[in-house]
């Protein structure tokens, strides 16, 4: 690094004294050894654009833009990850000033404004991204969540798969350290209240198993533990835990209907928050449960009627709606209670945890 600094000083002196060709050779040599040296790239672009040496002015200037946008994007990502949303917004805006087609900066502005809770601005950038990429499932879902248009009855399989594939590697750390995630433990506590005896011989389905956080809580009770999830990346981490007898990649309701009367217990931690209308999922759960089986799950709760697709992209349900849907599907509620599922942006996310059995 010190050597390149000295050579840059030498090259600048050569350029200032009229020896542009020698200066350009030095700048190019610096970039060969240190491709992201912004000062050398800028200096080279200036003498090429001035016609003092042969070269492609547009390519030289593009090299400067590439280095500067990459560096700024790195700062923006770090700022976003650490909750410094204003810094991230400034960086992403700077990138788009340099390169209006820098798609990751468009997405970054949507995410940073959402983190800042400026939902109108977030919606603007999600729409911008969605207009460029109409088949992007996450952008379409967030436009539906934040916009005024019709809401889907559930998140699409593609949206769920892409979202969790993206977060799989850092999922456990984010939930356990950053979000103080409690849903599996709350469900486990409810299980101990409704299931009598030692219960070490159960056939258990971890529905939407993710990386296996609920599996940790329930492995001790299982003679057979299966997991099902849409995300292949999440399933890789679940497999690495060595908890499951079988892992399946696929849509939950389809899997449950294909495995009639197989499970004593279904556990679904933070799964139905991606499903608005619960009817299909609950009816499928009734199919896969044994006659005396139990379904335990959590939802994010709300006080207004029915369910809503919230600005987070997840659904919230009124507890009364959960009970009514359960009854319609053929279940009765054994016990249900409210609790804090996790924290998000410093605020508790309230949930409803319920245990259902066949009516």
Is residue 201 within 8 A of residue 178, CB to CB? The reply is: no
Range scoring the smallest mean pLDDT among 38-47, 207-216, 345-354: 38-47
Is there a domain that residue 61 lies in? Answer: no
Q: For residue 208, what pLDDT band results from cuts at 50, 70 and 90? A: very high
pTM for the full model? 0.79
Whether residue 276 sits in one domain with residue 186: yes
Task: Give the residue from 11, 28, 55 where a domain finishes.
Answer: 55
Is 48 in the same domain as 113?
A: no
* Span of 5-14, 219-228, 275-284 with lowest mean pLDDT: 5-14
Last residue of a domain, which of 104, 120, 150? 150
Question: Same domain, yes or no, for 78 and 193?
Answer: no
Asked if the model's pLDDT at residue 317 lies above 90, the reply is yes
Residue 60 belongs to some domain of the structure: no
Q: Are residues 99 and 244 in the same domain?
A: no
Q: How far apart are CA 219 and CA 211, in angstroms?
A: 14
Same domain, 80 and 206: no
* Residue 322: CATH number of its domain: 3.40.50.150
Q: What is the pLDDT of residues 131-158, one digit of tens each?
A: 999 989 999 999 999 998 888 999 999 9
Same domain, 253 and 313: yes
Q: Are residues 39 and 82 in the same domain?
A: no
Share of the chain above pLDDT 90, in %: 63
Joined together, the tokens standing for residue 315 give 């659904």
Number of domains forming the structure of the chain: 3
Note whether 232 and 272 are same-domain residues: yes
- CATH of residue 90's domain is 1.25.40.10
Is there a domain that residue 249 lies in? Answer: yes
Name the pLDDT band for 355 (thresholds 50, 70, 90): very high
Residues 30 and 137 reside in one and the same domain: no
Would 159 be classed as within a structural domain? Answer: no
Domain presence at residue 330: yes
Q: Say yes or no: 51 and 76 in one domain.
A: no
Do residues 256 and 335 both lie within one domain? yes
Rounded mean pLDDT, 238-257:
97
Given 115, 150, 185, which residue is the final one in a domain?
150
Q: Do 233 and 299 reside in the same domain of the chain?
A: yes
1 pLDDT above the threshold of 70: no
Decide if 175 is inside a domain: yes
- Give the chain as a 3 state SS string: CHHHHHHHHHHHHHHHCCCHHHHHHHHHHHHHHCCCCHHHHHHHHHHHHCCCCCCCHHHHHHHHHHHHHHHHHHHHHHHHHCCCHHHHHHHHHHHHHHCCCCHHHHHHHHHHHHHCCCHHHHHHHHHHHHHHCCCCHHHHHHHHHHCCCCCCCECCHHHHHHHHHHHHHHHHHHHHHHCCCCHHHHHHHHHHHHCCCCCCCEEEEEECCCCCHHHHHHHHHEEEEEEEECCHHHHHHHHHCCCCCEEEECCHHHHHHCCCCCEEEEEECCCHHHECCCHHHHHHHHHHEEEEEEEEEEEEECCCCCEEECCCCCEEECHHHHHHHHHHHCEEEEEEEEEEEEEECCEEEEEEEEEEEEC
- Let me know if residue 215 belongs to a domain: yes
Q: With a cut of 60, say whether residue 197 has pLDDT above it.
A: yes
Q: Which domain holds residue 18?
A: 2-55
Confidence of residue 199 (pLDDT cuts 50, 70, 90): low
Q: Residues 33-62: pLDDT tens digits?
A: 777 777 777 777 787 777 788 888 888 777
């Amino acid at each position: 690094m010190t050597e390149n600094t000295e050579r840059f000083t030498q090259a600048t002196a050569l350029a200032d004294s009229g020896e542009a060709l020698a200066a350009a050779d030095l700048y190019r040599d610096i970039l060969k050894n240190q491709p992201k040296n912004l000062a050398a790239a800028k200096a080279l672009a200036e003498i090429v654009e001035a016609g003092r040496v042969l070269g492609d002015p547009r390519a030289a200037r593009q090299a400067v833009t590439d280095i500067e946008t990459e560096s700024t994007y790195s700062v923006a990502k770090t700022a976003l990850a650490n909750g410094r949303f204003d810094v991230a917004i400034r960086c992403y805006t700077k990138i788009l000033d340099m390169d209006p087609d820098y798609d990751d900066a468009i997405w970054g502005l949507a995410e940073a404004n959402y983190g800042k809770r400026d939902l109108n601005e977030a919606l603007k950038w999600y729409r911008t991204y969605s207009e460029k990429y109409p088949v992007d499932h996450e952008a379409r879902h967030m436009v539906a969540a934040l916009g005024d248009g019709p809401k889907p009855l559930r998140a699409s399989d593609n949206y769920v798969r892409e979202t969790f594939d993206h977060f799989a590697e850092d999922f456990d750390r984010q939930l356990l350290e950053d979000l103080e995630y409690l849903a599996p433990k709350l469900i486990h506590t409810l299980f101990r209240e409704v299931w009598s005896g030692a219960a070490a011989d159960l056939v258990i389905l971890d529905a939407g198993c993710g990386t296996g956080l609920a599996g940790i809580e329930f492995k001790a009770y299982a003679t057979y533990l299966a997991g099902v999830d849409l995300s292949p990346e999440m399933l890789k981490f679940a497999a690495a835990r060595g908890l499951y007898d079988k892992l399946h990649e696929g849509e939950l309701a389809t899997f449950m209907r294909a495995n009639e009367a197989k499970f004593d217990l279904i556990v679904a931690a933070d799964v139905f928050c991606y499903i608005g209308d619960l009817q299909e999922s609950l009816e499928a759960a009734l199919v896969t449960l044994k006659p005396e089986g139990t379904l335990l799950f959590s939802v994010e709760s709300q006080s207004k009627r029915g369910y809503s697709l919230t600005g987070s992209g997840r659904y919230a349900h009124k507890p009364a709606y959960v009970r009514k849907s359960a009854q319609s599907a053929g279940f009765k509620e054994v016990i249900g209670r409210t609790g804090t599922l996790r924290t998000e942006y410093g605020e508790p996310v309230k949930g409803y945890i319920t245990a259902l059995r066949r009516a």
